[in-house]
């Protein structure tokens, strides 16, 4: 749904994005992470057609955003990190303006405005002047503007900026709902906890380069990181647990005390299931067993060199 092909962007003597190729299938929520200055905003602006690449192409829903910009915009909902609002308009008037700008059918616009205002929880501000809104409310309004025309692709640059914790949770739920309805979402952030448990895939950018890209599991595996598994058990089975685990060549770094332990594992899901079966066969009364998922922040800290332009 989103395809970036050998994108390159130069500003004078600065190479902001260098030979970036990325494909994001329909229904993905892809988190683009990295420090300020990594090239995230430049990438998103090229993807939505606001910035012409020095080299390469950006396609959305199969449409080249540089060759057919007007057609491409019908598929794109874009929210920049800092966006302008019209202070002298009411909330509903602002959305009405953009609905007409996107050439939505006139008869559909009033109901759609009501719908998106409810989605971003601005019902009580429907008739309020924009100049009186808080930073967080303006951010919600920007999100409403981005989704007013039901775009297939969402390009969001730091969308949680200015939102309180409750509003951030509501934003996550809204974007999950849009994904479930078929939208594909590219979201950038340097605040890694914003993307935790939310994105289906991630890409780590530094100095204009993509360091790693894929699902969290794929990115972890590509970095050569061992999966961490934790287990607990009932009774006095410490010696049997240690003996059983140490016999398996796929297991490393066993750490166990009375009733609980962890180990590194380099096998597949089926292999991990066989480890559990082996423990049970050895009469270990396992009470919990499962992989300890690494956070986005942990993965980033292991893979990043923390360099900017």
Q: If pLDDT is split at 50, 70 and 90, which confidence band does 154 have?
A: very high
User: How far does CA 23 lie from the centroid of its chain?
Assistant: 14
- Model confidence band, residue 34 (pLDDT cutoffs 50, 70, 90): confident
| Rounded percentage of the chain residues whose pLDDT exceeds 70 | 91
Most confident of 32-41, 279-288, 296-305: 279-288
The per-residue pLDDT for range 44-70, each reduced to its tens digit, is 999 999 999 999 999 999 999 999 998
pLDDT of amino acid 308 = 46
How far from 237 is each of 247, 258, 289, CA to CA, in Å? 16, 8, 15
pLDDT, mean of residues 274-300: 86
Does residue 93 or residue 197 have the better pLDDT?
93
Q: Which domains, from first to last, does the chain contain?
A: 2-221 (3.40.50.300), 226-293 (3.30.70.100)
| Section 208-226 average pLDDT | 75
**pLDDT tens sequence across 155-165:** 999 887 767 78
Asked if residues 235 and 252 have their Cβ atoms less than 8 Å apart, the reply is no
Structure tokens that stand for 209 in this block: 């380069």
How many other CB atoms sit within 10 Å of the CB of residue 183?
A: 21
Query: What's the pLDDT score for residue 169?
Result: 82
pLDDT tens column, 223-260:
555 778 999 999 999 999 999 999 998 899 899 998 99
pTM for this prediction:
0.76
């Amino acid at each position: 749904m989103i395809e970036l092909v050998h994108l390159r962007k130069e500003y004078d003597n600065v190479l902001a994005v260098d030979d970036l190729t990325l494909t994001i299938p329909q229904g993905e929520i892809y988190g683009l992470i990295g420090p300020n200055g990594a090239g995230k905003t430049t990438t998103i602006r090229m993807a939505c057609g606001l910035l012409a690449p020095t080299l390469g192409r950006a396609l959305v829903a199969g449409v080249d955003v540089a060759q057919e910009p007007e057609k491409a915009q019908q598929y794109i909902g874009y929210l920049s990190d800092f966006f302008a609002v019209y202070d002298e308009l009411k909330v509903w008037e602002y959305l009405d303006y953009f609905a007409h700008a996107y050439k939505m059918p006139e008869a559909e616009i009033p109901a759609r405005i009501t719908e998106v205002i409810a989605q971003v929880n601005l019902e009580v501000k429907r008739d309020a002047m924009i100049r009186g809104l808080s930073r967080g409310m303006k951010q919600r309004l920007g999100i409403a503007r981005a989704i007013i025309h039901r775009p297939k692709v969402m390009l969001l640059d730091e969308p949680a900026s200015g939102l309180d914790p409750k509003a951030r949770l509501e934003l996550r739920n809204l974007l999950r709902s849009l994904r479930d309805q078929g939208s594909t979402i590219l979201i950038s952030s340097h605040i890694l906890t914003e993307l935790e448990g939310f994105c289906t895939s991630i890409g780590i950018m530094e100095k204009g380069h993509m360091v790693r890209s894929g699902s969290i599991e794929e990115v972890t595996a590509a970095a050569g990181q061992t999966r961490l598994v934790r287990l607990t058990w009932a009774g006095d089975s410490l010696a049997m647990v240690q003996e059983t685990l140490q016999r398996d060549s796929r297991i490393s770094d066993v750490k166990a005390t009375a009733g609980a332990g962890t180990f590194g594992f380099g096998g597949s899901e089926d292999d991990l299931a066989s480890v559990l079966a082996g423990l049970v066969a050895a009469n270990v009364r396992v009470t919990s067993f499962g992989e300890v998922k690494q956070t986005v922040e942990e993965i980033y800290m292991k893979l990043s060199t923390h360099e900017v332009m």
